[in-house]
Amino acid sequence: MTALPHLDTERLHLRPFSIEDADEVTRMLADGEVSRFLSRVPHPYEEGMAMEWIRTHASDAKEGGETALAITSAETGRLMGSIGLSPEPTTRTAELGYWLGKQWWGQGYASEAARAVMGWGFDEAGHARISSRHAVENAASGHVLVNAGLKPVARLERSMVFRGELHDVKLLGVTAEQWPGQCRLVDRGLPPRIEGERILLRGLRHADTESMYQVHATDEVFRNTLREKDFTRDSMRARIEAWHESAARNTGWVWGIQDRQTGELVGNVGMSRMPGPTRNTAGTGFMIGEPWWNRGYATEALRLVVRHGFQELSLHRIEGDHRPHNEASGRVMTKAGLIRDGLVRSRFSRDGDPVDVISYAIIRSDWENQSS
């Protein structure tokens, strides 16, 4: 393994730690209640320890060692804790460990993060079994692990040391075959995160329904797209669910466009593979809410998606289109490197009426020449 993953759930984003996290890690682990049952965390937790720990992560991952990820809020980006897997390569097993800052206890975040990491551990890292242990006195951790899908295995007497004292622990575990299918790779219904200079492209969750409804539910959006006229919040939720299904099938991906400075969702951008013999071709499209027009968001988002299509999906051709009156979308496509092909008559229909579009496309050699 050479890179630490990014994993998304309904409420969380799990990511590699950065040096900038050190102060917050120190603050949380300085709380004796947080570190009480963490066998590898010294107490008191002193300045400099967090930075030293974080600096080991990249080399550990490269050498097949521990995978340690920061648990952060998907909405605010705030650091909440840590979770990771420590593998034993010779047996294809791994041990799960985690901790959360005290203010995040009792809200289901640890189980949510554990399910994500375990899904990745089975489906991507190839582990055959994942286990975890908790002190008998720490019943809350037992609830977390059971809720995450692990099963009780045994009670081990005086088998772990916490702050210099031997404690009985309970061992829990689950094999790849036992792992419930509905929990596997909870992030597979979300596209990978893509970071730009001003924006972050990320998967959309049900919690984003209201923000995205406000982006889509305007008369100008209706005029420029094929969106149905009686568009509702339920319509938006159904779209998000359909986007999850497409990503899970690896046939299409839709990203929310988030301003990195304000955290606002300003629109969405997507890409869908063409079926059959044109599978190496994808269609792309984007939508920006009216308050954020003419600020360069669409151009940056489209450039990032085009790059992703050629670099990560090995596409040969990417195409897009816009309605003839929507010249602004044509300018965005041109700035993103797409080349105008021409007018396509009656390409779509809406309410029984034919819809003409102007088509654009970029092929791999175009993109490589532009990028050189």
Query: Measured between alpha carbons, how far is 67 from 79 in angstroms, rounded to an integer?
Result: 17
Q: Among the residues of the chain, which ranges form H helices?
A: 22-29, 32-35, 49-54, 57-62, 109-123, 139-148, 209-216, 219-224, 233-249, 297-311, 327-335, 364-371
Which comes out higher in pLDDT, residue 231 or 330? 330
pLDDT of residue 182: 40
How far is the CA of 76 from the CAs of 11, 61, 259, 367, in angstroms?
10, 27, 12, 34
Instruction: Name, in order, each residue with C-beta under 8 angstroms of 31's C-beta and a sequence gap of 6 or more.
Output: 101, 102
pLDDT digits (tens, 9 = 90+) for 251-276: 899 999 999 888 889 999 999 998 87
Domain spanning 194-371, CATH class: alpha beta
pLDDT category, 278, cuts 50, 70, 90? low
Pairing of strands 317-322, 252-259: unpaired
Domain 7-183 and domain 194-371 have a common topology: yes
Fold of domain 7-183: Aminopeptidase (3.40.630)
Query: Measured between alpha carbons, how far is 267 from 76 in angstroms, rounded to an integer?
Result: 18
Which comes out higher in pLDDT, residue 4 or 87? 87
Is the Cβ–Cβ distance between 274 and 268 less than 8 Å? no
Query: Measured between alpha carbons, how far is 88 from 69 in angstroms, rounded to an integer?
Result: 18
pLDDT digits (tens, 9 = 90+) for 175-222: 988 876 444 444 456 788 898 999 999 888 877 888 899 998 888 877
Query: Measured between alpha carbons, how far is 360 from 23 in angstroms, rounded to an integer?
Result: 48
pLDDT digits (tens, 9 = 90+) for 69-121: 999 998 888 999 999 999 987 888 999 999 999 999 999 999 999 999 998 88
pLDDT of residue 219: 84
Is the Cβ–Cβ distance between 83 and 98 less than 8 Å? yes
Structure tokens given for 339? 């080349």
Evaluate the omega torsion of the peptide bond into residue 87 and state whether it is cis, within 30 degrees of 0.
Answer: no
pLDDT of residue 1: 47
pLDDT digits (tens, 9 = 90+) for 233-256: 888 989 988 998 888 788 899 999
Residue 306 has pLDDT above 90, yes or no: yes
Structural domain boundaries in the chain: 7-183, 194-371
